[in-house]
């Protein structure tokens, strides 16, 4: 068996299908994830100046479509004969066509909301129709065993399926996705990838960290955004815990389906709950600029992040000012927002619904 080394950025993107195929095929490979700094050095030495690349012994292959076929042949996941191979190609090419539309909408600089709506309401159902037709009454898309065609369809719709009810009119494809997802080797790969079956995750030197607050604390410790003493660190945790209590109220609002009740609850939330929590933070701030240790810490960023969310949520739903009774918190939010690196991130972060 040759040695395999797959190099890509630390995201799923154009490499995840190859990683899934290696997992399902049970073939060992080196899963290299490069940072943008490392990529700058590597780029001139790659066949087309792009990632992913697959190294098979001393051969270096570019183009994700060629890479997945090399792996599919090596792992016997490309169908059993010429006809099946062509059928697998039909699926891979159709996924490629869908992916181009998906990328265009997801990374659009203009009209993103409109393009995302079109993607979810028109493009996704159109391609689900195509794949449902291909699946017909069979278990697998091609032949009588799982191939990279099944992995490709599963991989491509997986992210959407988690957040949207895309399968409501395509239940056979939902069952197909579950079949792929529950294959022991695929399951093991996904579990390794998302230790608790949920996002976000942070991958650091081959370790995968789940739980958003554990991730935030890891990043804070690494970059000097925790406190400097044990007490300071505990105070940062007090802020995070208090914000978690506030988030419980936000989640309850989110799940209220009755529009009238929701509007009522929203009013109570903004005029009573939020000021009650903001009072706690106002007292913690006192005359200081920052919540803990007289410097910017994760505590300030966490409070700002919730305020930023509340400002958007409130501008969409009601006209009450979240800071009406809490001018100190408004000043604190503005202070965090104007930290140059935070400002730079806010200016370039993609527009999202939440």
Footprint on this chain of ligand GSH (rule: CB under 6 A): 13-14, 43, 50-52, 63-65
CA distance 143 to 148: 12
Burial 281-303 (b: 16+ CB within 10 A, else e): bbebbeeeebbbbeebbbbbbbb
Burial 147-172 (b: 16+ CB within 10 A, else e): bbbbbbbbbbbbebbeeeebbeebee
Sequence-ordered alpha helix ranges (H) in 76-170: 82-106, 112-118, 124-135, 148-163
Toward ligand GSH, which CB reaches closer, 50 or 344? 50
Cβ at position 32, least distance to ligand GSH in Å: 14
Toward ligand GSH, which CB reaches closer, 50 or 145? 50
Cβ at position 92, least distance to ligand GSH in Å: 11
Q: Are 30 and 6 in contact (CB under 8 A)?
A: yes
Cβ at position 103, least distance to ligand GSH in Å: 9
CA distance 292 to 312: 26
Token pair, residue 254, equals 């989110």
Toward ligand GSH, which CB reaches closer, 53 or 124? 53
Output DSSP code: residue 225.
-
Cβ at position 15, least distance to ligand GSH in Å: 8
Cβ at position 339, least distance to ligand GSH in Å: 29
Toward ligand GSH, which CB reaches closer, 48 or 81? 48
Output DSSP code: residue 30.
E
CA distance 262 to 268: 10
Cβ at position 158, least distance to ligand GSH in Å: 17
CA distance 216 to 209: 10
346: buried, middle or exposed (CB in 10 Å: 19+, 13-18, 0-12)? Answer: middle
Toward ligand GSH, which CB reaches closer, 10 or 63? 63
Toward ligand GSH, which CB reaches closer, 63 or 318? 63
Q: Cα 225 from chain centroid?
A: 24
Toward ligand GSH, which CB reaches closer, 9 or 140? 9
Cβ at position 102, least distance to ligand GSH in Å: 12
Toward ligand GSH, which CB reaches closer, 9 or 160? 9
Toward ligand GSH, which CB reaches closer, 25 or 65? 65
CA distance 139 to 150: 10
Cβ at position 6, least distance to ligand GSH in Å: 12
Cis peptide before 52 (omega within 30 of 0): yes
């Amino acid at each position: 068996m040759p040695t395999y080394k797959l190099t890509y950025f630390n995201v799923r993107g154009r490499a995840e299908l190859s990683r899934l195929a290696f997992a399902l095929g049970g073939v060992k490979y080196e899963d290299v994830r490069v940072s943008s700094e490392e990529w700058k050095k590597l780029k001139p030495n790659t066949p087309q100046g792009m990632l992913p690349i697959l190294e098979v012994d001393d051969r270096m292959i570019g183009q994700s479509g060629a890479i997945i076929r090399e792996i599919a042949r090596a792992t016997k996941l490309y169908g059993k004969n010429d006809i099946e191979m062509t059928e697998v190609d039909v699926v891979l090419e159709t996924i490629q066509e869908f992916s181009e539309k998906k990328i265009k909408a997801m990374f659009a600089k203009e009209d993103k909301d409109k393009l995302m709506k079109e993607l979810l309401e028109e493009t996704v159902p159109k391609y689900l129709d195509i794949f449902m037709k291909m699946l017909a009454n069979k278990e697998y898309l091609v032949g009588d065993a799982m191939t990279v065609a099944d992995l490709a369809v599963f991989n491509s719709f997986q992210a959407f399926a988690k957040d949207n009810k895309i399968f409501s009119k395509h239940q056979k494809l939902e069952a197909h996705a579950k079949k792929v997802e529950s294959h022991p080797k695929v399951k093991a790969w996904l579990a390794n990838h998302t230790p608790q079956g949920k996002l976000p995750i942070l991958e650091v030197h081959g370790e995968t960290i789940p739980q958003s607050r554990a991730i935030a604390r890891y990043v804070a410790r690494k970059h000097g955004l925790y406190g400097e003493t044990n007490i300071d660190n505990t105070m940062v945790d007090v802020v995070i815990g208090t914000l978690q209590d506030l988030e419980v109220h936000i989640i309850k609002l989110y799940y209220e389906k009755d529009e009238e009740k929701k509007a009522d609850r929203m009013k109570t939330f903004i005029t009573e709950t939020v000021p009650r929590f903001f009072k706690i933070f106002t007292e913690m701030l006192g005359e200081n600029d920052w919540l803990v240790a007289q410097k910017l810490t994760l505590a300030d960023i966490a409070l700002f992040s919730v305020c930023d969310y509340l400002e958007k949520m409130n501008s969409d739903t009601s006209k009450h000012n979240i800071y009406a009774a809490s001018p100190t918190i408004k000043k604190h939010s503005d202070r965090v927002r104007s930290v140059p690196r935070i400002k730079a991130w806010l200016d370039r972060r993609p527009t999202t619904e939440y």
